[in-house]
Copies of this chain bind each other. A is one copy, B any other.
């Protein structure tokens, strides 16, 4: 396996080897040997490891960001070098703080019955599989799942994403240096580049692996979910979402251009390759919708073709647009591949409510990349019907004026059960790492609506088990 620069289509850098099933089993065995060390390590030792790792990353900021840019074509600055980089080191330091202040461990004491309960580690490694689109902040060797797993005192086995192996190798070298400097055993943090699917499943089944942290496509996520479910091992799965936006009629009439501007900016950010991309917008009112669409189309036509992260994303996007075309949807603009490298034109589709309801599977189908679908509704009541019929979603946005209050409340009542994060006016891209963030939502957006993948300390609970000490002596 070698990296590809998606802006040019050319491969570059080292060849990365595929690990064998035996090599993966050895990693799992090694992880099992260190679960007690991590569970019992002084907080300062683990926190120090994370702080030191963050500092080592910062000392190599320019080179890491440059490699990530070459592998992903995401904007070097401020996106990679500042925003995503600082989010990554910020998360590492939040996890370090969570190790120093373990108040998040849900300690409960019942003195009358001499019961004490608390969250403890899982007793095996967390297998961390990051996505293609956040090479730093979601990387298996440095991202949110990594932070959550270590904060919960579990060893990590990470798999590098094939779209950024060089970035991962470089970051992992810093993790290893920090791990060794902190005198943590080598199996505390391990990484491999590639494996056969069936060997990855064997790794999940190994008793040295206790849980999975995954961010990626629905197809891969559902496959891994079924493997973990059969094993009875917790899996944190962040998968696809259309993150719908609902625009009430009065707001649309009053502000169609501004709403179109906000939506297209959010939609096309990072080439539309964000898990929180507002992929579908439901607008209420035929006349205002026409003005909204004209403006959105104008905006999209002004944006250059996006560089996509990989050829497989381009194929998937192309297939998704073809599926809409095959049922007769009208393409407003874009719709074609571009060059050099792996590019795609900003693409908008519009459909009416009846057509959308007829093709709800397509409507609920996320397509990573610069594709937005506009659903023209006759009335606010139709907005609410679409909200009630939604699949689970990471996020949902309501755009409304004061005179739309009834619609807003009806949408809020519906969306609270459908989304992990409900936005009022704001577009969903841009996830603040905060103790009050929820980056989650019902299946199939994630595997379990009771957890969040972003926001420490809550995200560390995904990789903790609960334990009661019943009448135990000190």
Q: How many angstroms from the CA of A387 to the CA of B373 in the assembled complex?
A: 56
Q: How many angstroms from the CA of A45 to the CA of B123 in the assembled complex?
A: 43
Counted per complex, copies of this chain come to: 2
User: Are B123 and A417 neighbours in the complex by a CB distance under 8 Å?
Assistant: yes
Q: Bits for A411-440, please: 1 = Cβ < 8 Å to B, else 0.
A: 001001111111111101000101111101
User: Are A434 and B115 neighbours in the complex by a CB distance under 8 Å?
Assistant: yes
* One of A190-198, A249-257, A284-292, A442-450 contacting the partner: A442-450
Within 8 Å by CB of A470, from B40, B232, B424, lies B424
With contacts A423-B470, A435-B108 taken as known, whether A417 is within 8 angstroms of B232 at the C-beta atoms is no
Within 8 Å by CB of A472, from B231, B395, B423, lies B423
Q: Bits for A448-474, please: 1 = Cβ < 8 Å to B, else 0.
A: 111110000010011011111111110
Within 8 Å by CB of A232, from B419, B447, B472, lies B447
Q: How many angstroms from the CA of A106 to the CA of B121 in the assembled complex?
A: 21
CB of A61 closer than 8 Å to a CB of B: no
CB of A99 closer than 8 Å to a CB of B: no
Q: Bits for A107-141, please: 1 = Cβ < 8 Å to B, else 0.
A: 01110010111001111100000000000000000
Within 8 Å by CB of A231, from B35, B113, B423, B443, lies B443
Which residue on B lies nearest to A443, using beta carbons? Answer: B232
What B residues does A443 contact at CB under 8 A? 231-233
CB of A272 closer than 8 Å to a CB of B: no
Q: How many angstroms from the CA of A123 to the CA of B388 in the assembled complex?
A: 10
Which residue on B lies nearest to A228, using beta carbons? Answer: B229
A450 to chain B, nearest CB (A): 6
User: Are B109 and A436 neighbours in the complex by a CB distance under 8 Å?
Assistant: yes
What B residues does A39 contact at CB under 8 A? 413, 416
Within 8 Å by CB of A436, from B113, B124, B461, lies B113
Within 8 Å by CB of A392, from B232, B423, B451, B472, lies B232
What B residues does A124 contact at CB under 8 A? 417
Q: How many angstroms from the CA of A450 to the CA of B434 in the assembled complex?
A: 22
With contacts A36-B413, A470-B422 taken as known, whether A436 is within 8 angstroms of B117 at the C-beta atoms is yes
User: Are A450 and B466 neighbours in the complex by a CB distance under 8 Å?
Assistant: yes
Q: How many angstroms from the CA of A424 to the CA of B424 in the assembled complex?
A: 52
Q: How many angstroms from the CA of A442 to the CA of B466 in the assembled complex?
A: 9
Within 8 A of B (CB), among A280-306: none
CB of A174 closer than 8 Å to a CB of B: no
CB of A226 closer than 8 Å to a CB of B: yes
With contacts A110-B435, A448-B234 taken as known, whether A121 is within 8 angstroms of B466 at the C-beta atoms is no
Within 8 Å by CB of A466, from B110, B392, B452, lies B452
A148 to chain B, nearest CB (A): 13
With contacts A229-B226, A392-B232, A452-B466 taken as known, whether A432 is within 8 angstroms of B110 at the C-beta atoms is yes
Q: How many angstroms from the CA of A40 to the CA of B412 in the assembled complex?
A: 12
User: Are A437 and B232 neighbours in the complex by a CB distance under 8 Å?
Assistant: no
With contacts A229-B226, A232-B392, A232-B444 taken as known, whether A451 is within 8 angstroms of B466 at the C-beta atoms is yes
Q: How many angstroms from the CA of A228 to the CA of B225 in the assembled complex?
A: 12
User: Are A110 and B449 neighbours in the complex by a CB distance under 8 Å?
Assistant: no
Q: How many angstroms from the CA of A464 to the CA of B115 in the assembled complex?
A: 25
User: Are B436 and A120 neighbours in the complex by a CB distance under 8 Å?
Assistant: no
With contacts A423-B471, A470-B421 taken as known, whether A110 is within 8 angstroms of B231 at the C-beta atoms is no
What B residues does A434 contact at CB under 8 A? 110, 113, 115
User: Are A470 and B108 neighbours in the complex by a CB distance under 8 Å?
Assistant: no
Within 8 A of B (CB), among A74-116: 106, 108-110, 113, 115-116
User: Are B424 and A473 neighbours in the complex by a CB distance under 8 Å?
Assistant: yes
Within 8 A of B (CB), among A190-209: none
Counting from the closest, the 3 A-B pairs by CB-CB distance are A232-B443, A123-B417, A438-B468
**Additional A-B contact list (10), CB under 8 Å, known A450-B466, A458-B466:** A108-B435, A113-B434, A123-B442, A226-B230, A419-B467, A423-B470, A423-B471, A424-B473, A436-B468, A450-B465
A–B Cβ pairs within 8 angstroms, 13 of them: A35-B417, A36-B413, A40-B413, A116-B436, A232-B442, A421-B468, A428-B470, A437-B468, A438-B468, A442-B465, A450-B462, A450-B466, A458-B466
